[in-house]
């Protein structure tokens, strides 16, 4: 073979190899389009991930209907789907997975009706997501707008939190019934008066089995209490009493607990961000209270409570937040996670939209023990669509940067 022909052959082979190497990347980039789960009512979906990496997602469709989708690891369409019905359904449904046996539960509130004047909480159950039973009444007295639901350590009951005028109501409802009517206002003070923590909050199951309650407030940040006693409906079982403020800067906390302990994430006012502060900060609950705040998502322009926090079985934290760019004409969901011995990675976009109808609402995170998982959300336009996207983290570590250099970050490689 002549030298010139040999060079041409080598260049052609190298170019072909390069194109083949780029093919999977092009396919991965194409799959950045989110998974469409189905039409929704605009409320945030709820998700859990089982040990096989399958995501189980539920969302409100309309009126009494609830959608369910089983999304196998990496899939772009539901392998199984179902429609559940609860007459008079109120608020968003929540799906829970019991780690002892993998059983699934969908918890939803019901508004007061003419033939049933009390708000109530109902549950559907399934061993594997194939066949569903219920609904069964599990609680009475709340359910009009549930803010949080977590399983108890033994998996036999569910702890519920609902903000209302004059407080934050807690209920522990047995999944096997009969429905309980017991309630506790976590905003109640020792003198019998109520405080200022009557905005939506969050619940988390701590590694020792205790319940962490984060209580929002419209003007005084948010507070917390931890269930340390045997009786969940006794004020003295919850410490501190009264609820103690965590911060006075932000009103809607996001909690997560696991092997590394309990954490809370919350937003930072936009005026502070203008001076270089991160849009979101995280604090860890220690024996003497909450640790100092540490920032994340320095790459993202965000001024919203639309955020989510989760912890996997290895103690790694996962975070998501809705961001914007181009003076608000572009919206996105940014994602980051910690690694062993390292702080949060740089934020990456898991979805971006330039249409108002496709703008994402509040995201919800779900991860398995290994850290695999999804983020789920509903579009804010009408008609709303429930969507999900598989998690993929960026590289390096988030670091401070000027507010003017923030926006919607790039997609992961």
**Which residues are 202's β-sheet partners?**
214
Domain-located, residue 189: no
Residue-range definition of the domain harbouring residue 383:
253-413
- Pair 251, 288: CB distance under 8 Å: no
* DSSP secondary structure letters along 359-404: -B---EEEE-TTS-EEEEEEBSSSSEEEEEEE----SSB-----GG
Q: Which residue has the tokens 């969302």?
A: 59
Closest CA to 290 of 238, 340, 224, 343: 224
Tens-of-pLDDT digits for all 413 residues of the chain? 444 444 344 334 444 444 344 444 444 443 679 999 999 999 999 999 999 999 999 999 998 999 999 999 999 999 999 999 999 999 999 999 999 999 999 999 999 875 666 899 999 999 999 999 999 999 999 999 999 999 999 999 999 999 998 899 999 999 988 999 999 999 999 999 999 999 999 999 999 999 999 999 987 789 999 999 999 999 999 999 999 999 987 778 999 999 999 999 999 999 999 999 999 999 999 999 999 999 999 999 998 889 999 999 999 999 999 999 998 899 999 999 999 889 999 999 999 999 999 999 999 999 999 999 999 999 999 899 999 999 999 989 999 999 999 999 999 98
The per-residue pLDDT for 274 is 92
The per-residue pLDDT for 249 is 79
The per-residue pLDDT for 114 is 58
Burial bucket for residue 75 (CB in 10 Å: 0-12, 13-18, 19+): middle
Domain-located, residue 339: yes
- Pair 173, 121: CB distance under 8 Å: yes
Q: Which residue has the tokens 């199984």?
A: 80
Domain-located, residue 359: yes
The per-residue pLDDT for 117 is 65
The per-residue pLDDT for 11 is 36
Distance in angstroms (rounded) separating the CA atoms of residues 220 and 132: 42
Which run of H or of E encompasses 273?
helix 270-273
Domain-located, residue 222: no
The per-residue pLDDT for 9 is 43
| DSSP state, residue 357 | G
- Structure confidence by residue, pLDDT tens digits, 73-113: 999 999 999 999 999 999 999 999 999 999 999 999 999 87
The per-residue pLDDT for 251 is 73
Given the DSSP bridges, would you call strands 184-185 and 222-227 parallel, antiparallel or unpaired?
unpaired
The per-residue pLDDT for 398 is 97
Domain-located, residue 131: no
Domain-located, residue 104: no
Domain-located, residue 283: yes
Tokens of 64: 């009494």
The per-residue pLDDT for 14 is 44
Contacts of 184 (CB under 8 A, 6+ apart): 169, 170, 171, 232, 233, 234, 235, 238
- Structure confidence by residue, pLDDT tens digits, 175-185: 988 999 999 99
The per-residue pLDDT for 32 is 77
C-alpha atoms less than 13 angstroms from C-alpha of 40 in its C-beta half-sphere: 32
The per-residue pLDDT for 369 is 95
Domain-located, residue 207: no
Domain count, the chain: 1
Whole-Å CA distances, 87 to 90, 136, 399: 9, 12, 49
Distance in angstroms (rounded) separating the CA atoms of residues 286 and 331: 35
């Amino acid at each position: 073979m002549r030298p010139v022909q040999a060079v041409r052959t080598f260049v052609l082979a190298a170019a072909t190899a390069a194109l083949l190497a780029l093919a999977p990347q092009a396919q991965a980039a194409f799959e950045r389009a989110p998974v469409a789960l189905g039409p929704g009512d605009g409320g945030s979906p709820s998700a859990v991930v089982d040990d096989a990496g399958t995501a189980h997602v539920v969302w409100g469709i309309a009126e009494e209907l609830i959608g369910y989708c089983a999304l196998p690891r990496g899939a772009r369409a539901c392998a199984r789907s179902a429609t559940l019905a609860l007459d008079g359904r109120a608020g968003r449904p929540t799906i829970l997975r019991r780690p002892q046996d993998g059983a699934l539960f969908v918890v939803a509130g019901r508004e007061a009706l003419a033939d049933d004047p009390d708000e109530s909480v109902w549950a559907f159950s399934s061993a594997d997501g194939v066949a569903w039973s219920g609904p069964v009444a599990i609680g009475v007295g709340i359910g009009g707008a549930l803010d949080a639901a977590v399983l108890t350590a033994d998996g036999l009951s569910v702890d519920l939190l609902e903000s209302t005028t004059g407080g934050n109501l807690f209920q522990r409802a047995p999944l096997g019934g009969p429905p309980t009517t017991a309630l506790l206002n976590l905003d109640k003070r020792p003198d019998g008066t109520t405080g200022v923590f009557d905005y939506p909050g969050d619940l988390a199951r701590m590694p020792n089995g205790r319940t962490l309650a984060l209580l929002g407030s419209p003007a005084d940040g948010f507070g917390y209490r931890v269930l340390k006693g045997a009786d969940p409906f006794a004020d003295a079982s919850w410490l501190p009493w009264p609820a103690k403020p965590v911060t006075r800067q932000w009103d809607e906390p996001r909690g997560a607990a696991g092997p590394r302990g309990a954490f809370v994430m919350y937003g930072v006012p936009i005026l502070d961000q203008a001076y270089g502060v991160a849009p979101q900060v995280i604090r860890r609950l220690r024996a003497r209270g909450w640790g100092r705040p540490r920032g994340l998502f320095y790459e993202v322009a965000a001024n919203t409570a639309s955020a989510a926090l989760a912890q996997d079985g290895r103690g790694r934290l996962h975070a998501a937040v809705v961001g914007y760019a181009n003076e608000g004409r572009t919206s996105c969901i940014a994602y980051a996670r910690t690694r062993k011995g390292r702080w949060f990675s740089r934020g990456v976009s898991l979805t971006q939209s330039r249409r108002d109808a496709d703008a994402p609402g509040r995201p919800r995170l779900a991860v398995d023990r290994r850290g695999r998982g999804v983020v789920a959300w509903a579009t804010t336009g009408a008609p709303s669509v429930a969507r999900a996207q598989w998690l993929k983290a960026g590289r390096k570590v988030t670091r401070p940067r000027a507010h003017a250099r923030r926006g919607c970050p790039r997609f992961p490689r």
